[in-house]
């Protein structure tokens, strides 16, 4: 019709946005022109993952997931088939690690003004798989746009944490109420003893394969919950102490 519609997205200003929520809101706010719904849908698909796009039940999945992702998925499928035919094990695929913590981590519009280039930068950061990749991406960003601001450095720190979490076999590190949830977690008896000693208030749910650890505070009495890089460092220390150190010792 001729009537113009409006939609308002409200969120509490005192509640920090997760990296995923910020990406979604930024995408919606930057694409308000006629016909932008498809772009928003494709970006949302990129954020949350494409799912079983190679299944026979899917149709038109090139347009649905984007050409870059389609090519990568096809390359992985071909590589897997070649490995089966040759009898050689295919390279292990790196699993995704969902990190949803109160961290101010994003690429500011005034740092990379072009939407296309900003999305490219997000893709480069999301593809980081090693410490060397972090330095390469940081150098590339500095060369193209100048010294990265704190928000971008935070993104690189999140990428660094993802590497450690992936090495520990984790796929989920998220804020859940007053706790940080780690999963999947399968603790040996010695690790449970270590958990009781280092994180006394932690709850290990063996059946659900999750570990809930209360968010630490800036001080014991009247302190505020940790956030940003302080919280990320604490999570990194926990992953190191509970999962990586015991693995190296054993």
Quick check: is 184 in a domain? yes
d(CA 17, CA 92): 33
Is residue 226 included in any domain, yes or no? yes
Whether 184 contacts 210, CB under 8 Å: yes
Distance (Å, rounded) from C-alpha 18 to C-alpha 101?
6
> pLDDT category, 181, cuts 50, 70, 90?
very high
Task: Scan for tokens 């450095």, then name that residue.
Answer: 153
State the sign of the Cα–Cα–Cα–Cα dihedral 149, 152, 154, 159: negative
146 within some domain: no
Return d(Cα 241, Cα 224) in angstroms, integer: 24
Q: How far apart are CA 15 and CA 29, in angstroms?
A: 19
Q: Is residue 159 part of a domain?
A: no
Residue 204 three-state SS: strand
Indicate the range of 14-23, 108-117, 123-132, 155-164 predicted with least confidence.
Answer: 14-23
Q: pLDDT value at position 221?
A: 83
- Burial call 200-229: b when 16+ CB within 10 Å, e when fewer: eebebeeeeebbbbebbeeeeeeeeebbbb
Q: Within a domain: residue 88?
A: no
Rounded Cα distance between 148 and 108, Å, is 10
**223 located within any domain:** yes
- Structure-token pair, residue 71: 């090519």
> pTM higher than 0.75 for the full model?
no
Compute the CA torsion angle 92, 232, 158, 245 (nearest 10 deg): -30
Which pLDDT does position 195 carry in this prediction? 95
Question: In this model, does residue 77 exceed pLDDT 70?
Answer: no
- List the end-to-end C-alpha distance of the chain, in Å, as a whole number: 68
- What confidence score (pLDDT) does residue 53 get? 40
Q: For the chain, what is the domain count? A: 1
- pLDDT (mean) for 85-98: 70
Least confident of 53-57, 119-123, 125-129, 200-204: 53-57
What is the pLDDT confidence band of residue 249, given thresholds at 50, 70 and 90? low
Alpha carbon distance 123, 81 (integer Å) = 27
CB–CB of 67/46 below 8 Å? no
With 0-12 / 13-18 / 19 or more C-beta atoms within 10 angstroms meaning exposed / middle / buried, residue 194 is: middle
Q: What percent of the chain has pLDDT over 70?
A: 74
Whether 235 is in a domain gets the answer yes
Task: Give yes or no for residue 214 having a pLDDT over 70.
Answer: yes
pLDDT at site 119: 82
Asked whether residue 238 is assigned to any structural domain, the reply reads yes
Beta bridge partners of 211: 182, 204
Domain that holds residue 179: 165-249
> How high is the mean pLDDT of the chain?
81
Q: Is 186 helix (H, G, I), strand (E, B) or coil?
A: coil
pLDDT of 212: 98
Of 96 and 70, the structure prediction assigns the larger pLDDT to 96
Can you tell me the mean pLDDT for 166-176?
94
């Amino acid at each position: 019709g001729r009537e113009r519609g409006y939609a308002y997205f409200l969120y509490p200003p005192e509640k920090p946005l997760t990296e995923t929520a910020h990406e979604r809101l930024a995408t919606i706010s930057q694409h308000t022109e006629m016909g932008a719904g498809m772009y928003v849908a494709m970006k949302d698909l990129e954020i949350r993952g494409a799912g079983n796009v190679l299944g026979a039940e899917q149709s038109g999945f090139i347009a649905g997931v984007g050409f870059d992702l389609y090519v990568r998925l096809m390359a992985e499928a071909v590589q897997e088939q070649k490995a089966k035919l040759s009898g050689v094990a295919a390279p292990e695929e790196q699993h995704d690690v969902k990190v949803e913590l109160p961290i101010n981590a994003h690429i500011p519009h005034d740092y990379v003004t072009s939407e296309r280039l900003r999305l490219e930068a997000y893709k480069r950061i999301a593809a980081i798989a090693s410490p060397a990749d972090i330095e390469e991406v940081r150098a590339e960003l500095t060369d193209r746009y100048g010294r990265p601001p704190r928000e971008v450095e935070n993104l690189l720190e999140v990428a660094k944490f993802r590497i450690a979490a992936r090495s520990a076999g984790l796929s989920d590190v998220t804020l859940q109420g007053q706790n940080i949830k780690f999963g999947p977690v399968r603790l040996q008896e010695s690790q449970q003893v270590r958990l009781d000693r280092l994180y006394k208030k932690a709850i290990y749910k063996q059946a659900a394969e999750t570990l809930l650890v209360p968010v630490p505070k800036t001080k014991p009495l009247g302190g505020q919950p940790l956030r940003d890089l302080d919280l990320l460092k604490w999570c990194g220390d926990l992953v190191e102490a509970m999962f990586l150190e015991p693995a190296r010792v054993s």
